[in-house]
Structure formats: C-alpha cells, structure tokens
Amino acid sequence: MGLIEDVQESTTGYFPELLGVRFLSVTADEIRAEVEVTRAMCTLPGRMHGGAIMAFADTLGAYGTALNLKDGAGTTTIESKTNFFSAGVEGRKVVGTTTPLHRGRSTMVWQTRIERDDGRLAAVVTQTQMILARAKEPAEQMTALFAGQEPAAQMELLALLERSGGALYRSWAETESDPDKAAALRAAADREDENAELLTSLVADRA
C-alpha cells in the first residue's frame, strides 16, 4: 500500500471520512484532496457552509504536519484564519491544496487554497499546528529523572523513591488477606527502607 492509500485509509471511521475527503496526491511538501459538496454541507440552498470549508482545510493542514513529524510526535491546531472568496456549489466539488509556510520544531504553519472545480478560488486558510512531543515510556521517564545530576543528587532522589516504594508496599500489605503475601509485602517494604538508609548514609559520607 502506498502513502496516499495509507493516508486515505487512516480517515476510516473519523470526521474526514464523514466529510468525504478524497486524497488526490500526498507528499511531505504538498497535499491535494477533493470533497463533493452535498446538501448536508450547505448553509443555504446550493451554498457550501464556511465551516465545512474550514474543516476540509484543517484536515489537510493537520495531515501535512503529521507527515513531517518525527519520533512519534503528535499535532493539534492552535490557530486558523480563513479568507472566503466564493461559495462552494452543491453537487460540485472543491479541491484543496495545502503547502507549508513554516516547519519548525514547536510549530508548523500550513496554507490551504480551496478552489471550486471550475477553477474559481473559494477560500484561503492559514493554520498553525502545535507539535506535541511523544509521551515518554515509564522507563524513559525514570531515566530522565536522574539524567544530568551529580551522583549525590541521584542517590538522594533514589532514596526518596525507595521510601515511597516502602510506603506503597506497606499499604498493600494492609489490604492483603493472605497472611503469607502480606508478610512478603512487609518484607519488601523493609528492604526498600534499608536501601533508602544506605543511600542516605552514602550521601552523608560525600558531604
């Protein structure tokens, strides 16, 4: 399956599919798609609702940004400006072409031209997309807590975590009905406390 098929497939079950977006060409530098103007998209008989035009453009700008993201990042629209020039016509198509004006590390700006199938310009939409960093896995979060710190600071932090772990073990032991499991949890809590005491003493020795 090619890129354009993958992008089209990704709309299944979501609003772009409901809107009837059909992708014509897809690259990281330009996306073209079309929508047939149905009665449900109109605000007056035969006239496409401006919100439908904006939603169409927003979809294309978001996909453009997504194709330029790295490391599993996400995106969301934070600003959009639309200039309307003519109305989409019921029973006809509008074609959107989106290209980047700015591709930065924290935001991207995409501009989408919406044209009627007779070549007349319907609207120009400029939107700003915020880049959302990929959520870190728990192991990555723990590593980040210690990164760049001196050994003594790392020991103090780990001692705090050990004490917190001990408190959790004891709380679990209080709710455990099996005596053997409760005893094992309390023993684990004692080990956490011992580790914390060791780390605290090592920090004191370094002072």
Q: Same structural domain for residues 80 and 101?
A: yes
- The highest-confidence range among 16-30, 122-136, 154-168, by mean pLDDT, is 16-30
pLDDT value for 35: 98
- The tokens describing 47, both together, are 């006239």
Query: Is 181 found in the same domain as 90?
Result: no
Structure confidence at residue 127 (pLDDT): 98
Nearest to 90 by CA among 121, 122, 49: 49
Q: Dihedral sign, CA of 35, 40, 46, 47?
A: negative
147 and 55 in a common domain: no
pLDDT in tens, 4-60: 999 999 999 999 999 999 999 999 999 999 999 999 999 999 999 999 999 999 999
| Residue 141 reports pLDDT greater than 80 | no
Are 24 and 55 within one domain?
yes
pLDDT over threshold 70, residue 136: no
Bridge partner list, 102: 109
Nearest to 80, CA basis, from 114, 38, 46:
114
Q: Which domain holds residue 49?
A: 3-132
DSSP conformation class of 44: E
Residues 84 and 50 in one domain: yes
Q: Give yes or no: residues 125 and 179 share one domain.
A: no
What's CA 31's distance to the chain center, in Å? 20
Question: Looking at residues 182-200, what average pLDDT do you find?
Answer: 92
**What confidence score (pLDDT) does residue 1 get?**
67
Among residues 132, 163, 195, the one where a domain terminates is: 132
What is the number of structural domains in the chain? 2
103 shares its domain with 186: no
- Are residue 35 and residue 97 in the same domain, yes or no? yes
* Residues 197, 156 share a domain: yes
Residues 168 and 69 in one domain: no
Give the domain CATH number at 67.
3.10.129.10
Q: Say what the pLDDT of residue 148 is.
A: 84
Q: How confident is the model at residue 205 (pLDDT cuts 50, 70, 90)?
A: confident
Contact of 112 with 124, CB cutoff 8 Å: yes
What's the whole-number average pLDDT of the chain?
93
* Domain final residue, candidates 83, 108, 132: 132
One domain, residues 21 and 70: yes
Predicted pLDDT at 140: 67
Percent pLDDT > 90 in the chain is 80
**152 and 105 within one domain:** no
Whether residue 61 has pLDDT greater than 70: yes
pLDDT tens track for 73-97: 999 999 999 999 999 999 999 999 9
pTM above 0.95, yes or no: no
Domain boundary among 91, 113, 132: 132
